[in-house]
């Protein structure tokens, strides 16, 4: 299986991973001739999908969490948002159940570099973002050996970190273009609004609530809402700042082309010199597949290939299936393990 831009879909490709819109199944994995759905998918804000074709048959794409848990989380979060809009309160039981499932899966995951493979539509991108950010935060929390109680607080606070956005005018929140100063000031208020909203639920601890308030603060004081500096920012908010930013950079939304994991890595690495917590970022990057399985890459020796298998602890040195083009068709040549090939490196990637 591999991820392919919709514009590159060929007739012999099958859908590799089912596509959901909220919790509705849109297209089931295995469907042939998927190019006929390209226009409909584009209208939903989907720009790339997972496919299976001849050269990707033995490339496995493993997700950090199961579809069942992902759907459970989306459902719980959507219900919490809906209920808050109608009743001004929300149900923590389903959020608590959903985050427990997330924690269980993260703690049980095999020791491999992870990537998240959910295809978000424009409409459910907020839900997908909140869940992805929670998974990334838990990965850091796991590395830090947080206690079960701390992991639970981190998960609950992260999945609800942007709940304050339900109070922001959707016209501003989803504006297609750059926000003016007044609009940005309004968006910034989602942090304080979220914190106040979460205070109304006695089942949430301050440890969870502080994430909503501080996840846009930056170590150099350039963040918001209060411009706090390094020691003033809670460690949980520093974790979520990294997770939130990585997912925002790599997400495909609103017809915006996402950055590759490597491009996001470069930005985060740069930001960690002044804005993000460098040791926490180091913990995070150790666990992320910088070049996810199925990614097309160009190598420094002029050859090209598809990422086939990750080498744990070596995100820049996966095993690559090297390709050749014969009669306009890609054919497999051999597998190249970049962890033991010191003179060949990845030059660039397309996803
Ligand atoms: Fe936010």
Place of tokens 């397309």: 350
How far is ligand 1, taken at its centre, from the CA of residue 148, in Å? 25
Q: Give the residue-averaged pLDDT of 148-170.
A: 94
Domain boundaries, given as residue ranges, for the chain: 2-56, 67-285, 296-349
Given pLDDT bands bounded at 50, 70 and 90, which one contains residue 204? very high
How far is ligand 1, taken at its centre, from the CA of residue 310, in Å? 31
The yes-or-no answer to whether 2-56 and 67-285 have a common fold is no
**69-73, 86-90, 245-249: least confident range:** 86-90
- pLDDT score at 255: 45
Q: Would you say residue 48 has pLDDT above 90?
A: no
- Helix-then-strand count for the chain, H and E: 12, 10
Q: Would you say residue 228 has pLDDT above 50?
A: yes
Is the peptide bond preceding residue 225 cis, with omega within 30 degrees of 0?
A: yes
How many Cβ atoms sit within 10 Å of the Cβ of residue 348? 12
How far is ligand 1, taken at its centre, from the CA of residue 165, in Å? 8
> CATH number of the domain at 2-56, out of 3.40.50, 1.10.3470, 3.90.105, 3.30.1490?
3.90.105
Average pLDDT along the chain: 88
How far is ligand 1, taken at its centre, from the CA of residue 162, in Å? 5
Domain 67-285 sits in CATH at 1.10.3210.10
- pLDDT score at 325: 83
DSSP 232: G
Q: What residues does the ion ligand 1 have nearby, CB within 5 Å? A: 162
Pair 60, 43: CB distance under 8 Å = no
Closest CA to 61 of 244, 263, 265, 289: 289
**108-122, 154-168, 212-226, 236-250: least confident range:** 108-122
How far is ligand 1, taken at its centre, from the CA of residue 191, in Å? 6
Q: What is the pLDDT of residues 246-303, one digit of tens each?
A: 999 988 655 456 788 899 999 999 988 899 999 999 989 888 888 988 888 999 999 9
């Amino acid at each position: 299986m591999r991820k392919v831009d919709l514009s590159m879909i060929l007739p012999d490709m099958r859908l590799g991973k089912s596509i959901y819109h909220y919790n509705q199944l849109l297209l089931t994995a295995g469907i042939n001739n998927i190019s006929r759905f390209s226009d409909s998918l584009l209208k939903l804000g989907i720009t790339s999908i997972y496919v299976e074709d001849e050269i990707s048959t033995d490339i496995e794409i493993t997700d950090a969490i199961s579809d069942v848990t992902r759907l459970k989380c989306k459902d719980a979060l959507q219900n919490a948002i809906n209920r808050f809009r109608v009743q001004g309160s929300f149900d923590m039981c389903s959020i608590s159940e959903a985050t427990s499932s997330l924690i269980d899966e993260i703690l049980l995951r095999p020791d491999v570099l992870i990537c998240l493979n959910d295809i978000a539509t424009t409409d459910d991108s907020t839900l997908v973002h909140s869940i992805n950010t929670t998974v990334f935060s838990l990965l850091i929390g796991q590395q830090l050996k947080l206690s079960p109680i701390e992991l639970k607080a981190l998960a609950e606070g992260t999945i609800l970190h942007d709940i304050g956005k339900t109070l922001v005018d959707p016209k501003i929140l989803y504006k297609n273009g750059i926000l003016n100063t007044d609009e940005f000031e309004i968006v910034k208020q989602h942090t304080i609004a979220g914190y106040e909203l979460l205070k109304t639920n006695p089942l949430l601890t301050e440890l969870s609530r502080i994430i909503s308030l501080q996840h846009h603060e930056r170590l150099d004081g350039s963040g918001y809402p209060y411009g706090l500096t390094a020691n003033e920012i809670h460690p949980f908010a520093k974790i979520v700042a990294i997770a939130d930013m990585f997912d925002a950079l790599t997400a495909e939304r609103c017809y915006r082309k996402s950055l590759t994991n490597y491009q996001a890595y470069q930005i985060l690495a740069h930001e960690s010199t002044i804005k993000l917590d460098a040791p926490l970022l180091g913990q995070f990057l150790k666990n992320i597949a910088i070049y996810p399985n199925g990614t097309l890459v160009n190598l420094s020796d002029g050859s090209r290939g598809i990422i086939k298998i990750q080498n744990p602890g070596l995100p820049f040195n996966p095993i690559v299936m090297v390709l050749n083009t014969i009669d306009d068709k890609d054919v497999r040549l051999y597998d190249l393990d970049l962890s033991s090939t010191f003179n060949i490196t990845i030059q660039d990637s397309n996803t």
